[in-house]
Homo-oligomer: A and B are copies of this chain.
């Protein structure tokens, strides 16, 4: 059960690409948004609901599952797919991002990263080899190389050293990877320095990964800088491999980065926003907790998702205010459906070479013309 990617078409007026993923007898189109299931569950949702809203690949977090319930438990359960009852493709991250963000304080060594568990304070060491072993044990379909996630801004001097470390870790992880159906992606780092992005991408490509991710964006920089970093990075990546922009899910960022050649995205935002009562609409994000929705007996918007077909803003507001998790569930369904629908529109507009026009139209509606 190996995931296969095929590039179908590249836009002539932008770097946007259409592609197809085959997995387990199913095909999925790219560009694609991937919902995040940190603890082997996309918060509040059943696998059937993910399918219904149009999800393909979903994410699971290696760091979280390593700590709890432990990768061996999941292996003995028959692997991550069986454990969580999801038969679509699953991508696991390397654990790196969590080690650098959740689990402070840390010691960055040549060997790996020493840190304390955010759950119980246990001292732990995560290395490139260990990360691959955990991901192999979990049994995901796409694994990520362990990399250093550097906060923005950082000096070029630091970033140079960090890129070397990331390359070294990528090589070590690849070296011990088993010859099985799991894909392994390298991660392009290098911050806002074009020459470092180029260097990192080129070195990774020499190692011949199954796909490439772009890391170190969405770490506090401006959107313009993010787009530049993506632009630098995709320029040096091969056409025939998947390109994954990590941790990015703001609707406009999906469009902008597809225009720069990205195929797949992940972000916790649709479910996290839902828990706080925020819903995407084609006319911008709305906060359902607002008093104005108390007696608004219309759906979030004119939309074909389960939530919009059956529930009003007034009901959703009531559930969120009363802290009823059915509210998070209903808004999560809408938000993920919204992002999948956005990706479908993006794909349709790549086909007709109109993505730039679609972007302008989207901005006009979503931001009321106030973007850029």
A residues sitting closer than 8 Å to B (CB atoms) are 39-41, 43-46, 64, 68-69, 73, 76-78, 83-85, 294-295, 297, 310-312, 314-315, 317-319, 321-322, 324-329
Do B44 and A326 touch (CB < 8 A)? Answer: yes
Residue in B closest to A315 when the chains form the complex, CB atoms? B83
A295 to B73, CA, bound (A): 6
A327 to B41, CA, bound (A): 9
Residue in B closest to A314 when the chains form the complex, CB atoms? B77
Please give the distance in Å from A43's CB to the nearest CB on chain B: 7
Do B326 and A45 touch (CB < 8 A)? Answer: yes
Please give the distance in Å from A41's CB to the nearest CB on chain B: 5
A86 to B174, CA, bound (A): 53
Instruction: Specify which chain B residues have a CB less than 8 angstroms from the CB of A85 in the assembled complex.
Output: 310-311, 315
A325 to B327, CA, bound (A): 12
Please give the distance in Å from A290's CB to the nearest CB on chain B: 13
30 A-B pairs within 8 Å (CB atoms) are namely: A39-B319, A39-B322, A39-B324, A40-B315, A41-B326, A41-B327, A43-B324, A43-B325, A44-B44, A44-B325, A44-B326, A44-B329, A45-B326, A64-B322, A68-B318, A68-B321, A68-B322, A69-B314, A69-B318, A73-B318, A76-B295, A77-B295, A77-B312, A78-B297, A83-B314, A85-B310, A85-B311, A325-B325, A325-B328, A329-B329
Please give the distance in Å from A202's CB to the nearest CB on chain B: 40
Question: Known contacts A44-B329, A297-B78, A329-B44; is A73 also within 8 Å of B314 by CB?
Answer: yes
Do B315 and A77 touch (CB < 8 A)? Answer: yes
Instruction: Specify which chain B residues have a CB less than 8 angstroms from the CB of A311 in the assembled complex.
Output: 85
A321 to B312, CA, bound (A): 33
Please give the distance in Å from A156's CB to the nearest CB on chain B: 40
Residue in B closest to A321 when the chains form the complex, CB atoms? B68
Instruction: Specify which chain B residues have a CB less than 8 angstroms from the CB of A44 in the assembled complex.
Output: 44, 325-326, 329
A329 to B47, CA, bound (A): 13
Instruction: Specify which chain B residues have a CB less than 8 angstroms from the CB of A77 in the assembled complex.
Output: 295, 297, 312, 314-315
Do B326 and A43 touch (CB < 8 A)? Answer: yes
Do A297 and B76 touch (CB < 8 A)? Answer: yes
A41 to B317, CA, bound (A): 13
Instruction: Specify which chain B residues have a CB less than 8 angstroms from the CB of A83 in the assembled complex.
Output: 312, 314-315, 318
A159 to B368, CA, bound (A): 65
Please give the distance in Å from A212's CB to the nearest CB on chain B: 31
Question: Known contacts A68-B322, A294-B69, A325-B328; is A84 also within 8 Å of B40 by CB?
Answer: no
Do A319 and B76 touch (CB < 8 A)? Answer: no
Do B76 and A318 touch (CB < 8 A)? Answer: no
Residue in B closest to A309 when the chains form the complex, CB atoms? B85
Partner of A318 from the list B39, B324, B326 (CB cut-off 8 Å) is: B39
Instruction: Specify which chain B residues have a CB less than 8 angstroms from the CB of A46 in the assembled complex.
Output: 326, 329
Instruction: Specify which chain B residues have a CB less than 8 angstroms from the CB of A43 in the assembled complex.
Output: 324-326
A45 to B44, CA, bound (A): 10
Knowing that A68-B321, A73-B318 are A-B contacts, what are 10 other residue pairs whose CB atoms are under 8 Å apart, sorted by A's residue number?
A: A39-B319, A41-B326, A43-B325, A46-B326, A68-B322, A69-B317, A69-B318, A76-B295, A77-B312, A325-B328
Instruction: Specify which chain B residues have a CB less than 8 angstroms from the CB of A314 in the assembled complex.
Output: 69, 73, 77, 83
Residue in B closest to A310 when the chains form the complex, CB atoms? B85
Please give the distance in Å from A78's CB to the nearest CB on chain B: 7
Residue in B closest to A39 when the chains form the complex, CB atoms? B322
By Cβ-Cβ distance, the 5 closest A-B pairs, closest first, are: A39-B322, A69-B318, A325-B325, A41-B326, A85-B310
Residue in B closest to A65 when the chains form the complex, CB atoms? B318
Do A315 and B84 touch (CB < 8 A)? Answer: yes
